[in-house]
Amino acid sequence: MSAVVTAGAAIAAALSLAAAAGVLHNRRSGTLRDTVHPQDLDTAELGLSRTTATIVHFTAVWCGPCAAVRRVIHQVCADLPQVAHVEIDMDANPGAARRLSVLSLPTTFIFDAEGRQRYRSAGVPKAADLKAVLEPMLT
């Protein structure tokens, strides 16, 4: 009976640890983070707007959550029509993904009018979070 109790306790501990790791991982998903990158980052071929902020969204045909990001970004762009949007297929343009260190999909960037990367999000960002960081950039 003692071996069964010990095994059960070990399984319960492992499940608890895995659940805690999952919660911590998911808390960061979709969170916009400030980014600081060298100014020599080549963004010329990304198609960024030179007059306003640009949302750059990396996607792929096989990426399920990318459809949710697309809906959020279209909502934000409808509410803030002066914001530009560029969607890049990671499979069709792996060089751009490599230059920006895109390791998972969906990944969303916000660039200012000067082409500097200001924010980055892995996962599905919230529309309110995107608007909160974009609105000050538009004034």
DSSP string, 9-60: HHHHHHHHHHHHHHHHHHHHTT--EE----TT---GGGT--SSS-EEEEEE-
In this structure, the number of other CB atoms found within 10 A of the CB of residue 42 comes to: 11
Distance, in Å, from the CA atom of 4 to the CA atom of 47, rounded to the nearest integer, reads: 61
Q: What is the pLDDT of residue 74?
A: 96
Q: Are 60 and 90 in contact (CB under 8 A)?
A: yes
The model's confidence at residue 71, banded by pLDDT at 50, 70 and 90, is very high
Q: What is the pLDDT of residue 121?
A: 92
In this structure, the number of other CB atoms found within 10 A of the CB of residue 79 comes to: 13
Q: Which residue has tokens 């660039």?
A: 111
pTM above 0.85, yes or no: no
Q: Which residue has tokens 């309110």?
A: 128
Element counts in the chain: helices (H) and strands (E): 4, 5
pLDDT higher at 120 or 9: 120
Q: How confident is the model over 9-56, as pLDDT tens digits? A: 888 888 877 776 666 555 556 666 666 555 556 667 788 988 999 999
Q: What is the pLDDT of residue 13?
A: 80
Distance, in Å, from the CA atom of 60 to the CA atom of 112, rounded to the nearest integer, reads: 24
Helix or strand or coil: residue 136? helix
Q: Which CATH number fits domain 31-138: 3.30.2130.10, 3.90.1150.10, 3.40.30.10, 3.40.50.300?
A: 3.40.30.10
> Quick one: tokens of 46?
């990304």
Q: How confident is the model over 87-119, as pLDDT tens digits? A: 999 999 999 998 888 999 999 999 999 888 999
